[in-house]
């Protein structure tokens, strides 16, 4: 199935999604990679607020390349999500609803996704230009010293994504190969 979602999302928006579904995501998406996640944890440890509203938010694990003249953003392909596994459960427990990246996640992240009714969506690796074409505006929110890893606020329209982990325990990395083999030999 294909769904259209607009951020910020509420849990009932995500409840219908299943591993393998496609999503066209619009609205605000924040960017953060491992260096920014580490700083976010430091803020939380000090009892300080995050640089964006976390409730219902979508975080894209991306470090875009510099934009060329006339562009909003450079290539914006996903980075490996596993580098954020140590930080993701805490953010999900605080209300983050959507993670966007590529690659498998650990068991703690899977449990946090289910516990919080969240989802993990995959952006197509190697398609940074496609992802960048969905970005309609960009604002650097904080930590410019991190360069491409600074936290950014993106406005996106119809960003094409695939549900990898759903709120019900579905994991496309587990179910996908089985479904493929069944279809091929069925």
Residues recognised as catalytic = 37
Q: Given the structure tokens 């994991």, which residue do they identify?
A: 171
CA distance 59 to 70: 25
Strands 58-60 and 135-142: unpaired
Cβ–Cβ < 8 Å for 91, 113: no
Closest-CA residue to 166 (of 113, 116, 97, 92) = 113
């Amino acid at each position: 199935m294909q769904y259209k979602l607009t951020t910020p999302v509420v849990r009932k928006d995500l409840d219908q999604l299943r591993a393998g579904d496609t999503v066209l995501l619009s609205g605000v998406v924040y960017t953060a990679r491992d260096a920014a996640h580490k700083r976010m944890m430091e803020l939380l440890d000090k009892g300080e607020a995050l640089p964006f509203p976390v409730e219902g938010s979508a975080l894209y694990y991306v470090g875009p390349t510099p934009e060329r003249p006339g562009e909003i953003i450079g290539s914006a392909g996903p980075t490996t999500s596993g580098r954020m596994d140590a930080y993701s459960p805490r953010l999900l427990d605080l209300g983050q609803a959507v993670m966007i990246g590529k690659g498998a996640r650990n068991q703690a992240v899977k449990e946090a996704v289910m516990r919080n009714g969240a989802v993990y969506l995959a952006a197509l690796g190697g398609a940074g230009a496609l992802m960048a074409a969905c970005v309609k505006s960009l604002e650097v929110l904080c930590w410019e010293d991190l360069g491409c890893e600074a936290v950014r606020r993106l406005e996106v329209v119809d960003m094409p994504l695939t549900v990898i982990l759903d709120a019900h325990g579905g994991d496309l990395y587990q179910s996908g190969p089985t479904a493929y083999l069944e279809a091929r030999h069925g």
